[in-house]
Structure 1
Amino acid sequence: MTNSVARAGMTKPGKRERLADAAAKVFHEQGVEKTTIADIARAADVPVGNVYYYFKTKDQLVQAAIGAHERTGQEIIAALEQVGTPAERLKALVRGWVEQRELASRFGCAAGTLATELDKRADGLDQELAGVMRAFLDWIETQFTAMGRADARELAVALLASYQGISLLANTFRDPAMMEAEGHRLERWIDSLV
């Protein structure tokens, strides 16, 4: 997912939001286990001592990162809703994913890699992130439904699975061109469904 367009023109976020966004970014780049609270404070340009005012534990920062993913997803969906037809919205979504190909080839999908990491824990945060991803999947399904597709849920799963899969492959091979090629294929696929 990309949020560059969605956040354009917004005022500077407060410390809590900056910390949540920084946590999402640093967890994506380093993983939860390797990330320290100092790493997040540095990325947010906030003194380390101030972090504890907002978040007492690293798990609270993980939860805040999930909230940042949810906020970003909502912003992306709001921006995509401004695009013409459902098929055009889906293709714009794919183009947004492709725009992030360099980042994905270095670190994978931010939400997908976090989901994989949280799945190994028993604290329920994996289910919070699943809810965020489910909302995005539901939005994709809504677009296919609006295109008149009776198999909208299957198509939504296929589209999101294609993105997750190509993110993993682009990351594994450190090859952003793989994601670009898959993006073109997905756009043609969406056109074929209209």
Structure 2
Amino acid sequence: MTDSTKPRARAADKRRRLTTEAARVLYEQGVERTTLADIARAADVPVGNVYYYFKTKDELVLAALSEHSAHLDELTGRLDQLSDPRDRLKGLIEAWVAQREVAARYGCPTGTLAVELDKRADGTLDEKAGTVIRRLLEWAERQFRALDLPEPDDLAVTLVSSYQGMSLLANALRDPDIMARQGAHLLRWLDSLKVPDPAA
């Protein structure tokens, strides 16, 4: 690495750390309770340097939403390696259940952020959070469509809203077992879905 590329690499590393920690800290503390100093401290970056990369907290919120989107893409990308769409959907549910301890403490990362942003007066960032959830819905719909099931868009809404509901309840009651039980219920529901017999 040349001397001229080292500063760029260090800058990229700082930005990456800030983005990663913004996603985590905003998720754990919420937007209103989080300061730029909190994120700088978590990323081990001097607070004055934060303004070089992100001028406002809203820019950090956008970066956090991009991080959530990247995590979703990474998860669905792995699941897309499975040949059976039903197995992909089951893998999604299993990934949700695997995060039950974290969900019981903080809720769904994107869902809680979307709800919090919706309550803000400016109303600009809530649409960005909705975009991440919409991408999940579209991915789930493609799986149901690949299974030739009727009304795949409604099935996707049922699946994702079930996840949001079980995350909310697990968080409200601080009970990760809710996620485990509801996840098992969703897996049985998936197995029960059959392509209608046209001759029937």
Deviation, 1:193, is: 1.1
User: In structure 1, the residue corresponding to 2:71 is in which secondary structure?
Assistant: helix
Deviation, 1:181, is: 0.5
Give the match for residue 118 of structure 1.
Answer: 117
Deviation, 1:123, is: 3.8
Give the match for residue 150 of structure 1.
Answer: 150
CA distance in 1, matches of 2:54, 2:92: 33
User: In structure 1, the residue corresponding to 2:119 is in which secondary structure?
Assistant: coil
Give the match for residue 96 of structure 2.
Answer: 97
TM-score, with length taken from structure 2: 0.88
Give the match for residue 19 of structure 1.
Answer: 18
Superposed CA RMSD in Å reads 1.1
**Structure 2, gaps ≥5 residues long:** 1-11, 195-200
Deviation, 1:141, is: 0.3
Measured against aligned partners, the alpha-carbon deviations of 1:1-29 in whole angstroms (never above 9, x if no partner) come to xxxxxxxxxxxx82222211211111111
Give the match for residue 184 of structure 1.
Answer: 184
CA distance in 1, matches of 2:28, 2:142: 31
CA distance in 2, matches of 1:172, 1:161: 16
Give the match for residue 141 of structure 2.
Answer: 141
CA distance in 2, matches of 1:142, 1:14: 35
CA distance in 2, matches of 1:190, 1:114: 28
Deviation, 1:96, is: 0.3
> Larger C-alpha radius of gyration, 1 or 2?
2
Give the match for residue 41 of structure 2.
Answer: 42
Deviation, 1:43, is: 1.7
Aligned pairs, number? 182
**Structure 1, gaps ≥5 residues long:** 1-12
Deviation, 1:41, is: 1.2
CA distance in 2, matches of 1:17, 1:182: 35
Percent identity, aligned pairs only, is 55
Deviates more, 1:111-120 or 1:125-134: 125-134
User: In structure 2, the residue corresponding to 1:150 is in which secondary structure?
Assistant: coil
Q: Higher RCO, 1 or 2 (CA under 8 Å, sep at least 6)?
A: 1
